[in-house]
Every structure is written in C-alpha cells, then in structure tokens.
C-alpha cells in the first residue's frame, strides 16, 4: 500500500472516529471521555446502542449490531474501524458502471 493511500485511510478513520465520538457524547449525554473507554464503561446499554446504530446508519449508511456495541473492546476506534470496513465492503460490492459504454 503506498503512502498516499495509507494517509487517506488514516484521515478517513480519524474523521469516522470524530463523528462516532460526537454520537456517543450526544446519546450517552457526556461532556468528554477517554478514548480508551468502552461503550459499556461509559454507561451504554442496549437501548443506547440502538440509538447510536440509528445515528450511525444515517451518518455513514452502514449497519452495525447491538452486539458490536456490547463487546468488551467496543471503543470509538474499534467502532470506527467496523464502520470503515463495512463501508469499504459495500463500495466494493456495489455494481460499477462502465463509463466507456
């Protein structure tokens, strides 16, 4: 992978993390939190996870599950990675049109 591609992935991931962080702050009614905190550490539950899923679906057009939020490792960075991977899979599996035809 070339350096330009890596920096593009890093930028997208940091933008995704920032947006997920905003969603968590709003849904969990937080002022701030440590980036290593998990969703459960911050007081998240299945109902809050559903609210986050709805917001993430709107913001990123991807589907996550409640289980994704209830993992012991569900930090903002982990969820952002899941979102980016899901978005990449959707993009690569979408039908492409040939411009030359």
Among residues 82, 89, 11, 29, the alpha carbon closest in space to that of 53 is found at: 82
Q: Is 44 exposed, middle or buried (0-12, 13-18, 19+ CB in 10 A)?
A: buried
40 token code pair: 């459960």
pLDDT at 87: 83
Neighbouring CB atoms inside 10 A of 13's CB total: 15
Neighbouring CB atoms inside 10 A of 68's CB total: 19
Per-residue pLDDT reduced to its tens digit, 18-68: 999 999 999 999 999 998 999 999 999 999 999 999 999 999 999 999 999
Per-residue pLDDT for 1 more than 90? no
pLDDT at 2: 46
pLDDT at 94: 52
pTM of the model: 0.78
pLDDT at 93: 58
User: What topology does CATH give the domain 3-85?
Assistant: 1.10.1200
pLDDT at 101: 43
The rounded distance, in Å, linking the Cα atoms of 11 and 76 is 15
What residues does each domain of the chain span? 3-85
The rounded distance, in Å, linking the Cα atoms of 97 and 36 is 42
pLDDT confidence bin for 88, thresholds 50/70/90: confident
């Amino acid at each position: 992978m070339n350096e330009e591609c890596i920096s593009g992935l890093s930028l997208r991931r940091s933008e995704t993390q920032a947006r997920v962080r905003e969603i968590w702050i709003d849904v969990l009614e937080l002022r701030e939190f440590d980036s290593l905190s998990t969703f459960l550490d911050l007081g998240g539950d299945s109902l809050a996870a559903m609210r986050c899923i709805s917001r993430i679906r709107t913001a990123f057009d991807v589907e996550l599950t409640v289980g994704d939020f209830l993992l012991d490792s569900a930090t903002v960075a982990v969820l952002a990675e899941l979102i980016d991977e899901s978005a990449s899979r959707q993009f690569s599996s979408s039908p492409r049109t040939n411009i030359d035809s």
